């Protein structure tokens, strides 16, 4: 199923302003609309006042509780969630939907939504901890579809943040290597939040780091096979659209995207004739306090 996609991130903000001003009946049909588009998000009233937004509490969370390899000290964070709660209070107060002047650029808006997702996921984990997987979180109807992830007064789910906001409003497939679901199959959570002023470099770094791990990419030259994380299968459309629209490629494949973010010497060894096989996604919690043994690379 194709994903509805707007031309620029500001499109949702403009729509939100129109709703907030009470202009009813105006509907923009986005390109590539599906037969069954997701329900529209209900946006609270809009403020044109510029308000401060502070990433400092989240920076302290990442520095104190996230290890270099991406594992998280959930036990420690559960014991002292002060900074996480302070950052989420900021997220609840403002958002690019309801405070356009606070997030005037694309990078400011995208950084907000990535960090909001990651912070709300951390909160969901520590509220349920100790657990072995986010799949053990008993929220109804599940951690990804439970409401309560309030952003600027807007009551959202994690899936809405990812699939109806980040994926729809931003043509940025590198965001899939920044949004973190607290699972071993995920990209790693970095030791600092994603900040607007350095966002492009951070997204590049995390994408390259993702493909540098054998749990996400294995090139088997003898078998002419590339084994990839299923993230590349789940969001294949996003990579292909970006390659077509931003790189001008005709009939691209996910391997064309992968080759952009691995060392040139390694990329040149991947033939278009290589078969893609999908690695099994590992839902084990990224828990720094778990006793991790060797985690085998397996195929589905």
DSSP string, 178-242: T---SBTTSPPPPSS---GGGHHHHHHHHHHHHHTSTTTEEEETTTTEEEE-THHHHTHHHHHHH
Residue range 246-254: mean pLDDT, rounded: 96
Quote the CA–CA distance of 37 and 165 in Å, as a whole number.
13
Contact assessment for residue 268 and residue 248, using Cβ atoms and an 8 Å cutoff: no
- Residue 15: pLDDT over 80: no
- Residue 172: pLDDT over 50: yes
| pLDDT for residue 78 | 98
Weakest mean pLDDT among 23-27, 76-80, 181-185, 251-255: 23-27
| pLDDT for residue 43 | 65
Q: How far from 56 is each of 36, 72, 198, 236, CA to CA, in Å?
A: 40, 18, 15, 34
> What is the phi/psi pair of residue 57, to 5°?
-60, -40
| pLDDT for residue 37 | 55
- Residue found by looking up tokens 């997701």 in the block: 38
- Residue 200: pLDDT over 60: yes
Q: How does pLDDT run across 274-288, given as a tens digit for each residue?
A: 999 999 999 999 999
Please give the residue that has the higher pLDDT: either 20 or 84: 84
Contact assessment for residue 210 and residue 69, using Cβ atoms and an 8 Å cutoff: no
Nearest to 214 by CA among 223, 226, 231: 226
| pLDDT for residue 49 | 75
Q: Which three-class secondary structure string do you get for 25-90?
A: CCCCCCECCCCCCCCCCCCCCCECCCCCCCCHHHHHHHHHHECCCCCECHHHHHHCCHHHHHHHHH
Q: How does pLDDT run across 84-132, given as a tens digit for each residue?
A: 999 999 999 999 999 999 999 999 999 999 999 999 999 999 999 999 9
Q: How does pLDDT run across 40-91, given as a tens digit for each residue?
A: 666 666 776 778 899 999 999 999 999 999 999 999 999 999 999 999 999 9
Q: How does pLDDT run across 130-169, given as a tens digit for each residue?
A: 999 999 999 999 999 999 999 999 999 999 999 999 999 9
DSSP string, 244-289: HHHH--SS--HHHHHTTSS-HHHHTT--TTPEEEEBPP--BB-BTT
Q: What is the residue-averaged pLDDT of the chain?
A: 87
Q: How does pLDDT run across 256-273, given as a tens digit for each residue?
A: 999 999 999 999 999 989
- Residue 196: pLDDT over 50: yes
The domain segmentation of the chain, as residue ranges, is: 10-207
Quote the CA–CA distance of 204 and 75 in Å, as a whole number.
30
Quote the CA–CA distance of 53 and 119 in Å, as a whole number.
15
Contact assessment for residue 285 and residue 143, using Cβ atoms and an 8 Å cutoff: no
| pLDDT for residue 51 | 81
Tally of CB atoms within 10 A around 68: 8
Nearest to 66 by CA among 139, 109, 125: 125
Sign of CA dihedral 45, 51, 56, 59: positive
Laid out side by side, the sheet with 225-228 consists of 217-220, 225-228, 275-278
């Amino acid at each position: 199923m194709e994903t509805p996609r707007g031309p620029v991130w500001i499109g949702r903000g403009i729509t939100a302003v129109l709703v907030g001003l009470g202009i009813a009946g105006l509907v923009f049909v986005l390109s590539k609309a599906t037969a069954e588009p997701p329900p529209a998000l209900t946006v609270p009233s809009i403020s044109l006042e510029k308000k401060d937004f502070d990433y400092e509490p989240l920076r302290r969370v990442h520095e104190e509780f996230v290890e270099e390899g991406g594992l998280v000290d959930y036990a420690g964070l559960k014991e002292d969630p002060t900074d996480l709660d302070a950052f989420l209070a900021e997220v609840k107060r403002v958002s690019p939907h309801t405070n356009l002047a606070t997030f005037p650029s694309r990078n400011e808006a995208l950084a907000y939504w990535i960090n909001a997702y990651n912070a709300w996921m951390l909160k969901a984990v520590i509220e349920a901890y100790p657990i072995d997987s986010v799949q053990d979180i008993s929220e109804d109807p599940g951690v990804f579809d439970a409401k309560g992830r309030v952003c600027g007064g807007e009551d959202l789910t994690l899936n809405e943040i990812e699939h109806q906001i980040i994926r729809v409003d931003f043509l940025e497939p590198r965001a899939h290597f920044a949004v973190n679901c607290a699972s071993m199959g995920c990209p790693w959570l970095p030791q600092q939040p994603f900040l607007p002023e350095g966002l492009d470099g951070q997204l590049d770094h995390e994408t390259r780091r993702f493909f540098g791990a054998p749990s996400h990419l294995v090139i088997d030259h003898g078998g002419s096979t590339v084994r990839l994380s299923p993230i590349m299968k789940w969001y294949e459309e996003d990579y292909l659209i970006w390659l077509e629209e931003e790189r001008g490629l005709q009939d691209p494949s996910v391997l064309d995207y992968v080759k952009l973010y691995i060392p040139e010497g390694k990329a040149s060894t991947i033939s278009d004739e290589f078969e893609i096989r999908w690695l099994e996604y590992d839902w084990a919690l990224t828990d720094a306090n778990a006793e991790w043994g060797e985690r085998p690379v397996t195929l589905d």
